[in-house]
A = this chain, B = another copy of it.
Amino acid sequence: MPGASQPVGRRERNKQLKLDRITAAAHELFAERGIDEVTTQQIADKADIGTGTLFLYAKTKGELLLLVQNSLYAEALERGRADAENIPETLDAVMAIVRPVVECNRTQVDNGRVYLREMVFGDPAEPHHHEALTITGQTEQAVTAVLRRDARVSEADAATTARVVSAVMFLAMAASVNVAASVDEILRDIREQIAVLLRR
């Protein structure tokens, strides 16, 4: 019997099943109505678990959003990373990484903004929060990698520049000034700032 080396009891299986149900329920409701129009009670009901149980799997409602969205951002990053490889010009390559992230973020504006809010102000000790930060870190690394190909950017500055890019992205997506802005408008906004950053 394959896999018998790791004895996985009913406990583990049930836990995984519940987590799956919670993730599915939260994902669906958040996508449909936006996080602010959904109560934790509704998620618990849809996942067919008790109220208290929900909070065993995610300490806060915000964590629940991170749980649901992290994988989407990870995919977006992967797409951007691939796109960037074939683009020689530095600014264009950086923007190739940025674009899918912004698109992902703007699928639902409210959810996107809450996601960012949780990332910066949430509790880093929580697992889903930590994963979100990891994705941001990987995004910065991808940008760093692109910058290293550019002779104008000193090796030492690449990582710092990537952090700045990250900060610019964050504010462009999060700022209430931009709540009504389209993906392209936000991308233009970000591009302008990164252009100045790279101009030397």
Residues of chain A at the chain B interface (Cβ within 8 Å): 113, 117, 120-124, 157, 160-161, 163-164, 166-168, 170-171, 174-177, 192-193, 196-197, 199-200
Contact = CB atoms under 8 A, between A and B. Distances in A.
Counted per complex, copies of this chain come to: 2
Contacts of A121: 113, 117, 174, 176
Contacts of A168: 164, 167
B117 A160 contact: no
The binding surface of chain A is classed by DSSP as helix
A147 to B, nearest CB: 11
Nearest to A194: B164
A14 to B, nearest CB: 33
Contacts of A193: 160, 163-164, 167
B167 A171 contact: yes
Nearest to A156: B196
Given A164-B168, A168-B164, A193-B164, A157 B120 contact: no
A176 B113 contact: no
Closest 4 CB pairs of A and B: A200-B200, A167-B167, A167-B171, A160-B196
